[in-house]
Amino acid sequence: MSTAEVIAETRGPVAGRRRLRTLRRSLRYGRVRVGVVLLGLVVLVALIGPLVAPHDPDAVIGLPASAPSGQFPLGTDYLGHDVLSRVLWGGRSVLWMAFSAATLGVALGAAVGLLAAYAGSIADDLLMRGMDVILAFPQIVFVLLFVSLLGPKLGLIVVLVAVAWVPQVARVVRGITSDVVQREYVESAELIGLSRWRILTREVLPNVTTPLMVEYGLRLTWSIALIAAISFLGFGIQPPNADWGLMINENRNILTLQPWPILAPAVCIGVFAIATNLIAEGIGRAIAGVDREGAVR
Amino acid sequence: MVLWILRRALLSLLVLFGVSVLIFLATQALPGDPAVQILGHTATPEQLTELRKQLGLDQSLVDQYVTWLGNVLTGSLGNSLTSPQSVSSLLIDRGLASLALVGASALIAIPLAVLLGSLGAMRRDRPSDHATQGIFLVLTALPEFVIGLGLLILLGTTVFTVLPPVALIPSGGAAFTHPRELALPVMTLVLAVVPYLTRLQRAAMIDVLESDYVQMARLKGLPERTVVRRHALRNSLVPVVQGSALTLIYLTGGIVAIEYLFAYPGLGSALTTAVAGRDLPVVQAIVLLLASVYVVVNLVADLLTVLLVPRLRTRRG
Amino acid sequence: MSALDVSNLRVALNPAGHEIVSDVTFSVEHGEVVGLVGESGSGKTTVALALLGHAKRGTRIAGGSVRIDGAEMLGKTAAEVRAARGSRISYVPQDPAAALNPALTLGTQLREVIDAHRQAATSREALDRIRETLREVKLPTDAPFLGRYPHQLSGGQQQRVCIAMAFLLRPPVIVLDEPTTGLDVTTQAHVLETVRELCGEHDVAAVYVSHDLAVVSSLAQHVLVMYAGRIIETGPVDRLFTRPGHPYTRRLVEAIPDIAARLALEAIPGHVPPPGRRPAGCVFAPRCAVALPSCSDAEPSLVELEPNHSVACFRVAEVASVDLKLSVLADTAVAETEPVLVVRGLSAFHGERQVVHEASLELSPGECLAIVGESGSGKTTLSRAIMGLHVPRSGDVVYAGDVLSAGVRKRSARSRRGLQYIFQSPYNALNPRRTIGEIVGLPIEHFFGLRGRATDERVHDALERVSLPPAIAAAYPDELSGGERQRVAVARALACEPSVLICDEITSALDVSVQAAIIKLLDDLRQHDGLAIVFVTHNLALVRTIADRVMVLSAGRVVESGLTPSVIGDPKHPYTRDLIADTPTLAGLTTVPGARAET
Whether residues A116 and A184 share a domain: the answer is yes
Shortest distance, CA A167 to any CA of chain B (angstroms): 14
Instruction: State which residue of chain C sits closest to A290, comparing Cα positions.
Output: C478
Whether residue A4 is predicted with pLDDT greater than 70 in this model: the reply is no
Helix/strand/coil (H/E/C) assignment for every residue in chain B: CHHHHHHHHHHHHHHHHHHHHHHHHHHHCCCCCHHHHHHCCCCCHHHHHHHHHHHCCCCCHHHHHHHHHHHHHHCCCCECCCCCCEHHHHHHHHHHHHHHHHHHHHHHHHHHHHHHHHHHHHCCCCHHHHHHHHHHHHHHHCCHHHHHHHHHHHHHCCCCCCCCCCCCCCCHHHHHHCHHHHHHHHHHHHHHHHHHHHHHHHHHHHHHHCCHHHHHHHHCCCCHHHHHHHHHHHHCHHHHHHHHHHHHHHHHHHHHHHHHHHCCCCHHHHHHHHHHCCCHHHHHHHHHHHHHHHHHHHHHHHHHHHHHCHHHHCCCC
A34 touches chain B (CB under 8 A): no
Which of A214-218, B151-155, C325-329, C517-521 shows the lowest mean pLDDT across its residues? Answer: C325-329
CB contact under 8 Å between A150 and B32, yes or no, is: yes
Residue A164 lies in a domain: yes
Asked if C406 and A155 touch (Cβ cutoff 8 Å), the reply is no
* pLDDT of C586: 78
The domain total for chain A is 2
Q: Residue A223: its pLDDT value, please?
A: 94
Asked whether the beta carbons of residue A229 and residue B291 sit closer than 8 angstroms, the reply is no
**Residue C175 near residue C51, CB atoms below 8 Å:** yes
Q: For C381-416, how does the pLDDT look when each residue is reduced to its tens digit (9 = 90+)?
A: 999 999 989 888 888 899 988 888 888 888 988 999
pLDDT bucket at C599, cuts 50 / 70 / 90:
very low
Q: Give the rounded percent of residues in chain C with a pLDDT score beyond 90.
A: 41
What is the signed CA dihedral for C47, C49, C55, C61, rounded to 10 degrees?
Answer: 40
Q: Are residues A97 and A144 in the same domain?
A: yes
Q: Does residue C567 carry a pLDDT above 50?
A: yes
Mutation target for B interface from C82, C89, C115, C161: give the one with most B CBs within 10 A. C82
Chains that touch B (3 or more CB pairs under 8 A): A, C
- pLDDT, residue B35, reads 66
Ranges A46-50, A156-160, C524-528, most confident? A156-160
Chain B nearest-CA residue for A257: B158
Q: For C149-198, how does the pLDDT look when each residue is reduced to its tens digit (9 = 90+)?
A: 999 998 889 999 999 999 999 999 999 999 988 788 888 888 898 888 88
Q: Are residues A115 and A200 in the same domain?
A: yes
- Tell me whether A187 touches chain C (CB under 8 Å): yes
The confidence score (pLDDT) of residue B161 equals: 65
In a domain, A208, yes or no: yes
Question: Do A261 and A214 reside in the same domain of the chain?
Answer: no
Question: Whole-angstrom Cα distance, residue B239 to residue C412?
Answer: 50
The answer to whether residue A183 neighbours chain C at the CB level (below 8 Å) is yes
Candidates C271, C429, C432; nearest CB to A3: C271
The pLDDT mean for chain C works out to 88
Residue numbers in A near C428 (CB within 8 A): 183-185
Report residue C589's pLDDT band, with 50, 70 and 90 as the boundaries: low
B251: nearest CA partner in chain A: A138
Question: In this predicted structure, what is the pLDDT of residue C478?
Answer: 84
Residue A218: give the domain boundaries.
Answer: 91-238
Query: Is A22 part of any domain?
Result: yes
Could you tell me if A281 and A227 lie in one domain? Answer: no
Choose among C383, C469, C388, C476: nearest CA to C423. Answer: C383
Residues in B touching C103 (Cβ below 8 Å): 234-235, 308-310
Q: What is the mean pLDDT of residues B186-195?
A: 93
Comparing A151 with B99, the larger pLDDT belongs to B99
Answer yes or no: is A2 within a domain. Answer: no
Quickly count: other Cβ atoms within 10 Å of residue A70's Cβ: 5
In a domain, A7, yes or no: no
Q: What is the mean pLDDT of residues C255-274?
A: 83
Q: Minimal Cα–Cα distance from A2 to chain B, Å?
A: 31
Q: Is B253 close to A266, i.e. CB distance below 8 A?
A: no
Q: Do B291 and A137 touch (CB under 8 A)?
A: yes
The pLDDT of residue A11 is: 42
Distance from CA of C123 to the nearest CA of B (A): 18
CA-based nearest distance C102→chain B, Å: 7
Same domain as A198, residue A110: yes
Residues C443 and C437 sit within 8 Å (Cβ to Cβ): no
- The model carries a pTM of 0.82
Query: Is B34–A225 a contact, with Cβ atoms under 8 angstroms apart?
Result: no
CA distance A279 to chain B (A): 11
Q: If pLDDT is split at 50, 70 and 90, which confidence band does B189 have?
A: very high
Q: Which of B149, B253, B292 sits opposite A262 (nearest CB)?
A: B149
Q: Does residue C355 or residue A119 have the better pLDDT?
A: C355
User: Is pLDDT of B21 > 90?
Assistant: no
For residue B31, pLDDT beyond 60? no
Among A188, A205, A238, where does a domain finish? A238
Cβ separation of A188 and C421 shorter than 8 Å? yes
Within 8 A of B122 by CB-CB distance, chain C residues are none
Query: Rounded distance, CA C240 to CA C253, Å?
Result: 9
A220 in the same domain as A256 = no
Binning pLDDT at 50, 70 and 90, where does residue C285 land? Answer: confident
Q: From the candidates B275, B296, B297, which should be mutated to test the interface with A, based on the most A CB atoms within 10 A?
A: B275
- Asked whether the predicted pLDDT for residue A20 surpasses 80, the reply is no
Q: Is the minimum CB–CB distance between B112 and chain A shorter than 8 Å?
A: no
For residue C151, give the nearest of B220, B234, B311 by CB distance: B311
In chain A, what residues touch C475 (CB-CB under 8 Å)? 4, 7, 11
Q: Provide the shortest C-alpha distance from residue A254 to chain B (in Å).
A: 11
A169 with A261, same domain: the answer is no
**What pLDDT score was predicted for residue A181?**
87
Is the same domain home to A56 and A140? Answer: no
Q: Do B317 and C148 touch (CB under 8 A)?
A: yes
Q: Inspect the interface and report whether the beta carbons of A136 and B257 lie closer than 8 Å.
A: no
Cα–chain center distance at A294: 30
Residue A16 has pLDDT above 50, yes or no: no
Question: CB distance B235–C165 less than 8 Å?
Answer: no
Q: How distant, in Å, are the alpha carbons of B90, C31, C199 from that of C193? A: 75, 15, 10
The chain C residue lying nearest B225, using CA atoms, is: C116
Indicate the pLDDT class of residue B69, thresholds 50, 70 and 90.
Answer: confident
From A255's Cα to the closest Cα of chain B, the distance in A is: 8
Q: What is the ipTM of this complex?
A: 0.83
Mean pLDDT of C184-213: 89
Which of B32, B34, B140 lies at the smallest CB-CB distance from A277? B140
Q: Is the peptide bond before C593 cis (omega within 30 degrees of 0)?
A: no
Q: Determine contact: A197 vs chain C, CB below 8 A.
A: no
Q: What integer pLDDT is reported at residue A295 of this predicted model?
A: 35
Q: Please name the residue of chain C whose CA is at the shortest distance from the CA of residue B209.
A: C57
Report CB contact under 8 Å: B27, A232: no
Per-residue pLDDT at C21: 92
* Residues A182, A153 share a domain: yes
Task: Pick the closest to residue C257 from C42, C518, C526, C546 (CA basis).
Answer: C546
Query: Is residue A63 domain-resident?
Result: yes
Q: Which of A238, A258, A273 is the last residue of a domain?
A: A238
- Whether C595 has a pLDDT exceeding 50, the answer reads no
Answer yes or no: do A139 and A201 share one domain: yes
How many Cα neighbours within 13 Å face the side chain of C514? Answer: 23
Contacts of B230 in chain C (CB under 8 A): 104, 112
Confidence of residue A178 (pLDDT cuts 50, 70, 90): confident
- A189 — contact with chain C (CB < 8 Å)? yes
Q: Do A221 and A259 share a structural domain?
A: no
Whether the pLDDT of residue A293 is over 80: the answer is: no
B152 contacts chain A (CB < 8 A)? yes
CB-nearest partner of C433 from A193, A206, A296: A206
Question: Per-residue pLDDT averaged across A189-210, rounded?
Answer: 88
- Flag if B221 and C151 touch (Cβ within 8 Å): no
**What integer is the mean pLDDT of B218-233?**
88
Write the CB contacts of A22 (distance below 8 Å, at least 6 apart in sequence). Answer: A210, A213, A283, A286, A287, A290
Verify whether the Cβ–Cβ distance A11 to C475 is below 8 Å. Answer: yes
Using the 8-state DSSP alphabet, how is residue C77 labeled? Answer: -
Chosen domain end from A194, A222, A238: A238
> What CATH number does residue A216 fall under?
1.10.3720.10
Does any domain span residue A171?
Answer: yes
Query: How far is A36 from chain C, CA to nearest CA, in Å?
Result: 25
Out of C87, C91, C103, name the one closest to residue B234 (CB): C103
Confidence (pLDDT) at B162: 66
Task: Indicate whether A3 belongs to any domain.
Answer: no
